[in-house]
Structure 1
Amino acid sequence: MSTSLLRAVRAEWTKLRSVRSTGVALLATIALTVLIGLLTAEGGHTSYGGPPVVDSFAFVHRPLAGDGTVTTKVAAQSDSGPWAKAGVMLKSGTGGVSPEVALMVTPGHGIRMQVDGKRELTWPDGGAAPYWLRLTRSAHRVTGAVSADGRAWRTVGTVTDGGLPATCEAGVFVASPDVATSHWAGPGKVVGAARRTTGRAVFEHLTAGAAAGVDAADAGAGGAATGTSSGAQAADGGWQLTDVAQPDLPAGPLSNRPQTPGTVHAGGGALTVTGSGDLGSLGVGGIGTEALDDTIASALSGVEIALFAVIALGVLAVTSEYRTRTIRTTFTVCPRRGRVLAAKAVVLAAGVFAAGLVACAVSFVVASPVQRRNGYGPPLFPERSLADPLVLRAVVGTAGFLALVALLSLGVGVLVRRTAGAVILLFTLLVVIPLVASITSVGAGLWVGRLTPVAGAAIRQTRPMFQDATGPWSGLAVLAGYTAATLGAAFWVQRRRDA
């Protein structure tokens, strides 16, 4: 930064901080952001409304006495939903919510190992099928392992087999939960529903016995298991299909009770199994996660009201000088008008960004305990701090959003040169048009949220929601484009007209 520009920045900073309205606007930005964020947190409540544990699926199994191993290759899995599950299992019996250890693949959430549906381990390098899976019980401990080729194995984790009897059931399972869907039924009206799904997986080289790969009843040997309903008995090898479901599980969209009986078909050296239902508990295995709210964005919702103070500050930073004619003195001291505008932009953006950073950080810290008290807590909503990357991005990005709005307001102020006209224009663009569009047409609301400067507010988002008009960074890029174009026009106009 050149010496002359530094002097211009210093002069603009002196002018800006000497005006009482500057401090008022920055304090209003902080106060409004924190107050609205706190009120939003106080008014928000949530509850799960489903069973504490879901344990229902199609299970192809046979007894396993003592220590031993169950191994299979999940050769293929249909993408019936991101949380569909297929894998190997050791279970105390065939009743729902009985002790079990499972290792599974999912279409959208990698490889996971569950203990009684309440504890979950993840394998960070895993993806979707095909994968080899293995569970090995030894001395009251169960080890899960995965392999891409059936030769080189990597351990997912080792857990205690608490509750598994000396002789348990070993085999493969398929589950596919209902998928929650939501859509706009009209302006401001959201309709939710549950889409029924049935999972399908192809298992090859299924073995269960005293050691991996040593079993006289290899399901890949042909004709091992057949049937189309609960209790279908294998033609040989003792494999049996059971639809596992806890008897007290209520029907309904949150229950994930199996909607259709499981089926199993042997052919071509493989077992093809279909099934519905789910496996897990609140916050484990995806249970309850499809209806999550964006608590971080909610804590920062006050910036939508703080925009009023930011717009006023950005406009007054230049129109007040046009109104009092002191802009002539400014241009006399610093004839290079582009440098004057650049200095104003630097000072304004830095001041608003600093105030916005304080406002967003305080709002998050104040709102978080209130949200937890109202039900937004673990395990569905993990406790987060300002050091969390998602929180940090939202807080810093929202402060940047406010700074960009201030710069946009500065550019409009230069072009219009009238405080009232500039403020009305900006309020119309950033507040009135989005509000009118959202209450008159769903499509219009989405396009306005996508293509107008208000898209920058999407930087607060930390999880995808169906009603989002755009993504966080793409929305901020739209606002940055409008701001750059407006400031560019302001530079061009200011250099070619009289003060």
Structure 2
Amino acid sequence: MSAIAQRSEPRTGRGDFGRLLRAEWTKFRTVRGWVVTITAAALVTVSLGLLSASGEHSSCGAGPVETACAPPPVGPGGEAVDDSFFFVHRSLAGDGGITARLTSLTGVIRKPDVIPGQRNTVAGVVPWAKAGIMIKESTRRGSPYAAVMMTGEHGVRMQHDFTHDVAGRPGGVSRQSARWLRLTRSGDTLTGYESADGANWTRIGTSSLAGLPATVQVGLFAASPGDLTVTQGDLGGSTAAVRFTEATGEFDQVKLDGEVSGAWREDDIRGGPLKPDGSVHHPGRAARSGDTFSVTGVGDIAPVIEGPFAERPLGGAPAGLILVIVVAVLFITAEYRHGLIRVTLLAGPCRGRTLAAKALALGLVTFAAALPAVAITFLVGGRILRANGNVILPVPVLTQVRVVAGMAAVFALVAVLALALGALLRRGVAAVITAVAVIVVPLVLATTSILPDSAARWLLRVTPAAGFAVQQSIPEYAHVLSHYAPTAGFYPLPPWGGLAVLAGYAALALGLAVFRLRRRDA
């Protein structure tokens, strides 16, 4: 009797779990329908992604002639940047700096025309309009720089190399409350200061621009990004419009320190298409009287966050996921339907470990099938988009790896979550519908302009669809005003945070399935 009881006790060693894992893998690969369907999921992801990329074409007009769109300049960190501003500058050799008093920041904003044919412009500045002082490697767009500036609504800031932003003292500027700005160079280190009276200075921040040449450009600048207006639709969704603005900074008591050479030069550093005659749209300008300068600029000095993202070809992933959900649910419910679950539990009496082995086997199989599919879609789809004239925003190699591996992990976690739902509900149709409803439907609703932005963001925070955040390649920047909405490709959670939400749902559902399997006879 004791021998029989001893044999019936669950074995919990590593070798036992390995045996269970091999058994589940054998089950999966011997059912041809499951193998075919998981392969079909990978093929659907690839084919839909490449088909979508093949249908997207883009070109830029130069008068009556359509030409390929020029890619945006690339900043020191490898990101696409908008380096457009008006620059009044001189050459600085070696260490030195610039000090200036800003007495005014004004501008104009173009609003929708009230009278057809008559431009409607109003006085004002947008929140991230900026005017200040700058040290820049050269006038080449995308070259390293550091700047201390006054903004429209965010006070004094120090920014460098497009993606870095440090806040100074808040508030505005006027002739009665002028702002003193200072920027110094010591080797590759640039330090920004501000003062209310020109005598007592407060350090804002320090930046290290490795590889700065001996001679750089130092001077005054102004820029103004477009005015963003987001209109909510009556039936959900939103529309973003950006209109022309310009900003003017008034400076006096300008002082340059160090070995400064050459006369003051004016450069309208601009990107984007030109007019048919080669002139600049809405050119900037400057005026000078002694040490008093007026500088007017258009554009922005910031990362580019609008345009085709690198993950665009992965739009076919939800269709592939539906097939993965079907396979994952059948992987467990078929055993209940045919009564084979009793055999499975006899082979592995420790029910929790048996279900864990089944989940791990399915997750590994799904990840192995999804990884090459996602990689092919991402890389080949990107090449097709570029060949069709689309300018894809560049992202670092590590970000590309995160997008590909992360999306393969999404496939694997969705498979585990669907398997757990199958084990909980024990009905194939009900489990498939539930999995699609909590994973795919929220994603579609949130990213297709059906819901208001607030509701779309809420869905992508609290549902398993949050996992799709792992594919977002362009981050949000606090110092760049844009329409950060799911319809524009931005998720409310960070990439790994969103994936963690999906993993949490999969773990919770699997835990509940184990609990039910232990409490109720198969």
Structure 1 and Structure 2 fold alike (TM over 0.5): yes
Partner amino acid for 1:132? L
Trace 1:336-355 onto structure 2 (pairs within 5 A).
336-355=350-369
> 2:315 is paired with a residue of what secondary structure?
coil
Contact persistence 2:226–2:244 (CA under 8 A): yes
Distance 1:461 1:325 in 2: 43
Distance 1:24 1:414 in 2: 22
Q: CA deviation at 1:73?
A: 3.8
Q: CA deviation at 1:37?
A: 1.4
Alignment pair present for 1:257 and 2:257: no
Alignment pair present for 1:466 and 2:484: yes
Aligned length: 419
Contact persistence 2:85–2:221 (CA under 8 A): no
Q: CA deviation at 1:199?
A: 5.9
The equivalent residue for 1:359 is 373
Alignment pair present for 1:441 and 2:496: no
Distance 1:27 1:309 in 2: 9
Distance 2:385 2:240 in 1: 24
Distance 2:350 2:39 in 1: 32
- Could you tell me which of 405, 429, 434 is aligned with 1:425? 434
Structure 2 CA distance for partners of 1:294 and 1:183, relative to 1, 3 Å? farther
Partner amino acid for 2:224? P
Alignment pair present for 1:493 and 2:505: no
- Could you tell me which of 452, 457, 462 is aligned with 2:463? 452
> 1:473 is paired with a residue of what secondary structure?
helix
Q: CA deviation at 1:339?
A: 1.3
Partner amino acid for 1:409? A
The equivalent residue for 1:227 is none
Distance 2:408 2:137 in 1: 51
Distance 1:292 1:332 in 2: 56
Q: CA deviation at 1:3?
A: 1.4
The equivalent residue for 2:65 is none
> 1:192 is paired with a residue of what secondary structure?
strand
Q: CA deviation at 1:393?
A: 0.3
Contact persistence 1:46–1:374 (CA under 8 A): yes
Distance 2:471 2:53 in 1: 15
Partner amino acid for 1:336? C
Contact persistence 1:75–1:202 (CA under 8 A): yes
Alignment pair present for 1:212 and 2:224: no
The equivalent residue for 2:505 is 482
Range moving further from structure 2, 482-491 or 424-433: 424-433
Partner amino acid for 1:319? T
Alignment pair present for 1:39 and 2:51: yes
The equivalent residue for 1:158 is 213
Q: CA deviation at 1:320?
A: 0.6
Alignment pair present for 1:304 and 2:318: yes
C-alpha deviations, 1:78-137, integer Å up to 9, x for none? 89538867326899xxxxx999x996527789446xxxxxxxxx9x999788663579xx
Contact persistence 1:349–1:406 (CA under 8 A): yes
The equivalent residue for 1:414 is 423
Q: CA deviation at 1:197?
A: 4.7
Partner amino acid for 2:468? A
Distance 2:442 2:297 in 1: 46
The equivalent residue for 1:177 is 224
Contact persistence 1:80–1:176 (CA under 8 A): no
Distance 2:41 2:140 in 1: 55
C-alpha deviations, 1:411-455, integer Å up to 9, x for none? 100011011111112222223455456554313333222211111
Distance 1:320 1:426 in 2: 17
Structure 2 CA distance for partners of 1:307 and 1:249, relative to 1, 3 Å? closer
> 1:157 is paired with a residue of what secondary structure?
coil
Contact persistence 1:318–1:414 (CA under 8 A): yes
Structure 2 runs not aligned, ≥5 long: 1-12, 63-68, 74-82, 106-125, 150-156, 169-180, 194-205, 476-482
The equivalent residue for 1:275 is 296
> 1:301 is paired with a residue of what secondary structure?
helix
Contact persistence 1:319–1:414 (CA under 8 A): yes
Q: CA deviation at 1:7?
A: 1.1
> 2:308 is paired with a residue of what secondary structure?
coil
Distance 1:35 1:84 in 2: 49
Partner amino acid for 1:494? L
TM-score, normalised via structure 2 length: 0.66
Contact persistence 1:57–1:243 (CA under 8 A): yes
Partner amino acid for 1:33? T
Q: CA deviation at 1:21?
A: 2.1
The equivalent residue for 1:57 is 86
Range moving further from structure 2, 20-29 or 46-55: 46-55
Contact persistence 2:134–2:146 (CA under 8 A): yes
Alignment pair present for 1:391 and 2:391: no
Distance 2:99 2:210 in 1: 16
- Could you tell me which of 293, 297, 314 is aligned with 2:308? 293
Distance 1:201 1:7 in 2: 77
Structure 2 CA distance for partners of 1:149 and 1:330, relative to 1, 3 Å? closer
Range moving further from structure 2, 199-208 or 9-18: 199-208
Contact persistence 1:243–1:262 (CA under 8 A): no
C-alpha deviations, 1:202-256, integer Å up to 9, x for none? 6876238xx62799xxxxxxxxxxxxxxxxxxxxxxx98979699x9659xx966
Structure 2 CA distance for partners of 1:149 and 1:477, relative to 1, 3 Å? closer
Contact persistence 1:447–1:469 (CA under 8 A): no
Partner amino acid for 2:437? T
Q: CA deviation at 1:146?
A: 5.3
- Could you tell me which of 170, 178, 191 is aligned with 1:148? 191
> 2:212 is paired with a residue of what secondary structure?
strand
Q: CA deviation at 1:349?
A: 0.7
Partner amino acid for 2:16? S
Q: CA deviation at 1:312?
A: 0.8
> 1:212 is paired with a residue of what secondary structure?
strand
Structure 2 CA distance for partners of 1:49 and 1:419, relative to 1, 3 Å? same
Distance 1:309 1:300 in 2: 16
Distance 2:401 2:491 in 1: 22
C-alpha deviations, 1:6-51, integer Å up to 9, x for none? 1111111111111112211221121011111112211223446699
The equivalent residue for 1:371 is 385
Q: CA deviation at 1:194?
A: 3.0
The equivalent residue for 2:199 is none
Alignment pair present for 1:81 and 2:123: no
CA RMSD of aligned residues (A): 4.7
Partner amino acid for 2:492? T
Q: CA deviation at 1:271?
A: 6.4
> 1:87 is paired with a residue of what secondary structure?
strand
Distance 1:68 1:497 in 2: 78
The alignment-based identity, stated in percent, is 29
> 1:291 is paired with a residue of what secondary structure?
coil
